[in-house]
Structure 1
Amino acid sequence: MNILLEIGTEEIPARFLPNTMESMRELAEKLLDQNAVDFEKIYTLATPQRLVIIIYGVAEHQKPRTITHFGPPKNAAYDKEGSPTKAAVSFANSKNIKINEIVVLKKEKSPGQFGEYIAAVINEKGLPTKEIISDIFNKLITSLQFPKTMRWNNYDVKFARPVRWILALCGSVPFNVEFGAVISNNFTFGHRFLSNQKIQINSPDDYISALRNAFVIVDPDERKQIIQEQISEIERELNALVVNDEGLLTTVSYILEYPTAVIAEFSVDFLRLPKELLISVMRDHQKYFALRNQNGTLINKCIVISNTLKENAKNVAKGAEKVLGARFDDARFYFEQDTNTPLLEKFDSLKSITFQEGLGSIYDKVQRLQEICRFLSISLFNEEISLLNRAVNLSKADLSTGVVKEFPELQGIMGSHYAQLDGESDEIVQAILEQYLPKPGEDILPKTKIGIILSLADKIDNIASSFGLGLIPTGSKDPFALRRQAIGIISIIRQRDFIINFTILFGTPLKLLKEKLPQCNISDVYEKIEFFLRQRLEAIFSSEGFSHDQIEAAMDNFMNLPISFIYHRLNAYRELREDSGYNEFLLAVKRVSNIIPKGFGGDFDCDKLVEMDEKNLYVMVKETEPRFLKLVESGNFKGAIDCLKELILYINKFFDSVLVMDKNMEVRDNRLGLLKYIHEVVKLAGNISSLIEK
């Protein structure tokens, strides 16, 4: 049989819906599994006014199962003579079993500690699914979570938006679900403007088609496909192309129930404004699709996705054009006001814009950026870039402009336009544009030297400042997008293969942070940044297919290792794993590391070596070490590991013929010192001993 649940609501924000659909599916799967109810597949659907789950092939009965209920400890259930106590009798009665049906089983009472407890082992045949389905779906509704919730009419329930009806069917039979004052039934409602009437649903199989007849496309993927097809039709009609935006397409598919694409037009005079400003008004503020010609130039038309029929297209277009014209007028006013004064003259106004409470203004941040950028210029490019100082001063000036205050997503973009209008050099114009790259969901990185320096400086200052103030990302909360900025830093450095490590990279920002916040524990901040960056790198490398043990080995001492070298280590480990001698190599390395006592700090004297095989091992290490170090310093970890392979034979001979733990403590410590020396050499290629054998 099939089961249907629809929760009818007031309009839920589009951004809530994708995650809510996934949560519904996971909750349904979990609850059915907990209740031993088999099913074939689960579909979740959503519109702004309804959340839907349809479960196909649901079993008529629960599966038979054995459930073990634990009672009190054995010593509390039986007296010294072995007779059951009141506790045992009460437990048996509560589980509806006879006293002689009680069993004694072991159970963990605390981590690693087990004790004996009485238990009732009950074989359940399984109830009809129809008898338990109400309980399952009542739990599902109350378990749903949203970024924000609300209460209504003094009911003791919370939801994304007020719940107005619930449709619940098990096969053709309604089942009871209650939420607040709403009790489930077997009806739903059509489109609130085009068919706002009750629709009786006789079976889950009828649901989707019944709503389609009432102008509701309940499947968001189908709505998205319809929108895409209608956009393509308009593109052909106008010989134009939509300014691609997959995110907008997804958003629009979740803000309506019956999509119809309409062409709206605006005055060609507005095309004199920067195209990014026009696109932002259309996309971010109105959810309209901008259009361009085949050469990439914007045209004075856009596509509006309406929640109505084609017959109403003229009225929709007229309303959209009126709203869009007003928004463009506002944008033009701000733009003209901004261009009345040069960008550089806006620099002092940054003093009135707070960066972070406790770290001063944006003006103060720019002063920090000056020092960080000078450092990066020398560290990354080994030169002082002549235009860098001016570029830094101009980089944040657009934050005080009217356009950016109204359209924050255009920071940097508008600054580059204003700089170009002021006659600034192409290098500065491009650098101002590149400072916020990469953008969310994009992989375009800064290309110019000044753009790279500005982008890195801004991001490392943001991370250091936020961590210094204790504003550290937790769970799903990252209000300052620090995770994305960390990934941006890593991406830029990896692409350009800069030889710089995180300790050096964050050195200047942390020094400046200490000057601004003397009470700040910089060592603690450094450790938290280290943990934060480790998480980002591990996630990146894991997504690229590297195994957990390879990542752990490569990340050894990663803060002091050029970032690109970590990647070179990983590639070397991946290639090493394909080597037929992989396990033998790991065994030799682990024999060295595992025998050294924790905290051993003994010295080593080569003149005190006694056995031939320990002398030979030492000589081979000394011969190999210079080549090995040179390869490590250049980031050639494949070559470095090939050097280490030359030691395997000598390491194995050493362990086969030499007693490390000699009774003579001086001999013992000297041999351990030799192994410690070898271990420290090997560690320069990463924590290889943490790699797992094939």
Structure 2
Amino acid sequence: IQWLLALYDGQAVEFSVEEVEAGNTTLGHRFMAPDLIKIEDFAQYRQSLEEHYVIVDPVRRRNLVIDEVRKAVRDKVGEDGTPVLHQGLIDTVTNLVEYPHGVCGSFAEKFLALPNEALVTSMREHQKYFPVVDNNGKLLPFFVAVNNTAIKDRELAASGHERVLRARLEDGLFFFNKDTQETLAGRMDALSGIIFQKQLGTMADKSMRIAALSAYLAELLEPSLQEDAVRAARLAKVDLLTEMVGEFPSLQGIIGCEYALLDGEKSAVAKAIHEHYLPIRAGGKLPESLLGAIVGMADRVDTLVGCFAIGERPTGNKDAFGQRRLALGLIAIIRSRNLSLSLQDLLDKALEGYAGRIDAQKDTLVDLLAFIRLRFENDLVAAGMKQEVVEAATSVGFDDLCDCLARIEALQGIRSRDEFAVLAASFKRVRNIIKENRETVVDPALFSEDAEQELFATLTAIRDQVHPLVRAKKYGDALIVLLTIKEPVDHFFDDVMVMADDPAVRINRLNLLTALADLVLQIGDISRMHVE
């Protein structure tokens, strides 16, 4: 801390931080105007600092960064060049400078032989430079740096930046040329030298497990993709062995895709190598191809199952393998492509891949499915869904995620109807009465009340309507049919004593209510949606 400025109603606020006393003065730009400035109010603070080459307003400073970058390209390249204005880089540069000045430099065209992402990463991430492209989006041998001081000699300033970038690009070109001397397929066996996790084996072991899971998923979702899925899975992690990824870790998958294309692999396989890492973060870009989605799901499930099996599970302050992110990624992929599959079967298949290597902890898959379910529920609630609606659906079945989502949407669509609110209250009473009863065999000969007969007749009639609607996943229509049982249920509770003295009658009435509950629970536990 160099100095502190603190004013309240024009008066300096007296306090200190680490022996630095607050006052009513600040300083201008460190190099261009390092004068002491007395401040009276905020308006004068902004004006005085700008006169001393410090732009206080971050929005205005950001706009100036963009203007300077565009002007630098226009002056150097003309109308044939356009800067790539990456929003994250703009934000970073805005917070690095006080008074932006753009300068456009160039580099040798030989470096354009590098994969685009390698070039862009060298400029954007390592040097905070903006790449330049032509009107077709193709990279040009130019870049823009943003200085924090006025530039008197632009050629001299540009040459300094060029010298720094050239050294990094020379390294990149060396790595690229060395990497391309061997194909990705030729490196696969070397993955046995990289440990994935001590108990779970090497990256070679993981690649084999991912390949097996990818084959299983392809057979389930699109059998024609099975061969390509296995190939993409086997190659997916090989770029970890390359010099380029060693230098630029953020290019995992991207470099694998580029090298696979150079090796003559199918474009779909190469694309899947890149896409299997997507999404990188919550809300991030998702795989465009089913092949990429298949390998991505296989990779995530393998890690989740392995970690849970050995007790390496997320805690409040530890998530070494990013399992929350992996679970959210798995959910996002399934939802984005509306994939109907059994999570339980997928997890079972993944655990088979660890046979002979580890002894899975008790309830591994039960706990993992609950972990994924919680991520799913939290994600939906954060997006605006009512928690009680989400839990009404997930509590009765979460194996098929997209089926669960369809039931949630149906429950959400009907929850505002008055008759549904009454039915939800009655169903809560049903659930409380039947407790652990599971029998549904009903003997009409034991009925002694008209309300019993009415409920049984209505239940029998609507069951024939609801079952085909549920099989067709028309859950909204099924719920509308179920609303017709509201009045018979009300009459039943008004006129019938469920817990009769006669054991046979009592059990018969419990079974009738249990049969009703089983029908409703095919969609959701609507008792959770009852509001007192």
Q: 168-177 vs 671-680, which deviates more? A: 168-177
Partner of 2:334: 493
> Which residue type is aligned with residue 210 of structure 1?
S
**Equivalent residue letter for 1:655:** F
Q: Distance in 1 between matches of 2:262 and 2:225?
A: 26
CA deviation map 1:609-659 (0-9, x unaligned): 333321332233233324423322332211221221232232222222222
CA contact (8 A) 2:424 2:526 kept: yes
**1:284 corresponds to:** 125
Relative to the length of structure 1, the TM-score reads 0.71
- In the TM superposition, residue 270 of structure 1 has moved relative to its aligned partner by 1.1
Q: Distance in 1 between matches of 2:158 and 2:314?
A: 43
1:521 aligns with 2:361: yes
Does the Cα contact within 8 Å between 2:419 and 2:483 map onto a contact in 1?
no
Is the 2:282–2:329 Cα contact (8 Å) retained in structure 1?
A: no
Q: Which moved more, 1:299-308 or 1:430-439?
A: 430-439
In structure 2, how many angstroms separate the alpha carbons of the residues matched to 1:176 and 1:197? 22
Q: Structure 1: how far apart are the matches of 2:61 and 2:282?
A: 23
- Say whether 1:460 aligns with 2:304: no
CA distance in 2, matches of 1:332, 1:164: 42
The alpha-carbon distance between structure 1 residues 577 and 164, as it changes in their structure 2 partners (threshold 3 A), is same
Q: Which residue of 2 aligns with 1:538?
A: 377
Q: Which residue of 1 aligns with 2:49?
A: 211
Give per-residue Cα distances to partners, 1:253-282, cap 9 Å, x unaligned. Answer: 222222222212111111121111111111
For 2:350, the equivalent position in structure 1 comes to 509
User: AA paired with 1:593?
Assistant: R
Question: TM-score when scaled to structure 2?
Answer: 0.91
Distance (Å, rounded) in 2 between the aligned partners of 1:521 and 1:184: 58
* Distance in 1 between residues matched to 2:472 and 2:297, nearest whole Å: 24
Contact 1:572 1:637 in 2 (8 A): yes
Letter in 2 for 1:551: V
Q: What's the counterpart of residue 248 of structure 2?
A: 407
Match for residue 291 of structure 2? 450
* Alpha-carbon distance in structure 2 between the residues aligned to 1:274 and 1:585: 62
1:579 is displaced (CA, Å) by: 3.5
Kindly indicate whether the alpha-carbon contact (under 8 Å) linking 1:169 and 1:186 is maintained by their aligned counterparts in 2. Answer: yes
Instruction: From 156, 161, 176, give the equivalent of 1:320.
Output: 161
* Stretch deviating more after TM superposition (473-482 or 182-191): 473-482
Structure with greater strand percent: 1
Aligned pairs (5 A) from 1:265-344:
265-311=106-152, 313-344=154-185
Amino acid at match of 1:268: E
Structure 1 residues without counterparts, runs of 5 or longer: 1-162
Matches within 5 A, 1:615-654: 615-654=453-492
CA distance in 1, matches of 2:96, 2:263: 41
TM-aligned CA deviation for residue 286 of structure 1: 1.1
Q: Equivalent residue for 1:179?
A: 17
Give distance in 1, aligned partners of 2:349 and 2:2: 57
Distance 1:542 1:250, change over 3 A: same
CA distance in 2, matches of 1:613, 1:647: 12
CA distance in 1, matches of 2:117, 2:517: 57
Measured at CA, do residues 207 and 380 of structure 1 come closer, stay the same or move farther in structure 2, by a change above 3 Å? same
Give the secondary-structure state (helix, strand or coil) at the position aligned to 1:196. Answer: coil
Alignment of 1:224-239 (within 5 A): 224-234=62-72, 238-239=78-79
Written as runs of structure 1 = structure 2, the 5 A alignment for 1:335-374 is 335-374=176-215
Q: 1:531 to 1:233 in 2, by over 3 A?
A: farther
Measured after TM superposition, the shift of residue 182 of structure 1 is 2.2
Equivalent residues of 2:396, 2:522 under 8 A apart: no
* Contact preservation (8 Å) 2:93, 2:146: yes
Distance 1:221 1:529, change over 3 A: farther
One-letter identity of the residue aligned with 1:606 = D
Residues 165, 183 of structure 1: 8 Å contact kept: yes
Extract unaligned runs of 5+ from structure 2. none
Shift of 1:322: 0.7
> Relative to 1, partners in 2 of residues 1:382 and 1:346: Cα closer, same or farther, differing over 3 Å?
closer
* Secondary structure of the corresponding residue to residue 622 of structure 1: helix
- Structure 1 counterpart SS, 2:6: strand
Q: Is 1:386–2:224 an aligned residue pair?
A: no
Residues 682 and 388 of structure 1: is their aligned pair in 2 closer, same or farther, counting only changes over 3 Å? same
3-state DSSP of counterpart to 2:227 = coil
Offset of residue 479 of structure 1: 5.0
Residue 666, structure 1, aligned to residue 507, structure 2: no
> Of 102, 105, 108, which residue of structure 2 is paired with 1:261?
102
- Tell me, in whole angstroms, the C-alpha distance in 2 between the residues paired with 1:691 and 1:276: 50
Once residues 282 and 484 of structure 2 are traced to their aligned partners in structure 1, the CA distance between those partners, rounded to angstroms, is 46
- Deviation digits for residues 162-214 of structure 1 (CA, Å, limit 9, x no counterpart): x3322222223222222223222332232223233433323344322222222
Alignment of 1:1-20 (within 5 A): none
Indicate conservation of the 8 Å contact 2:71/2:102, yes or no. Answer: no
| Aligned match of 1:606 | 443
Q: Is the Cα contact below 8 Å between 2:28 and 2:35 reproduced in 1?
A: yes
Give the Cα–Cα distance (whole angstroms) in 1 for the partners of residues 215 and 123 of structure 2: 39
CA–CA separation in structure 1 for the residues paired with 2:510 and 2:373: 32
Q: Distance in 2 between matches of 1:510 and 1:208?
A: 62
1:412-471 Cα distance to aligned partner (Å, 9 max, x none): 111111111111122222221221122447654323343221111111122223334544
The structure-2 alpha-carbon separation of the partners of 1:214 and 1:531, relative to structure 1 and needing over 3 Å to count, comes to farther
Identity %: 32
Moved over 6 A (4+): none
Output the CA distance in 2 between the equivalents of 1:511 and 1:342: 31
| Aligned position for 1:571 | 409
Q: Matched residue of 1:646: which SS? A: helix
* Structure (1 or 2) with the larger CA radius of gyration: 1
**What displacement does 1:570 show?**
2.2
Over residues 389-410 of structure 1, what are the superposed CA-to-partner deviations in whole Å (9 max), with x where a residue is unaligned? 3222212111100001111111
Instruction: Please name the residue that 1:438 is paired with.
Output: 279
For residues 442 and 311 of structure 1, the distance between their equivalents in structure 2, rounded to whole angstroms, comes to 44
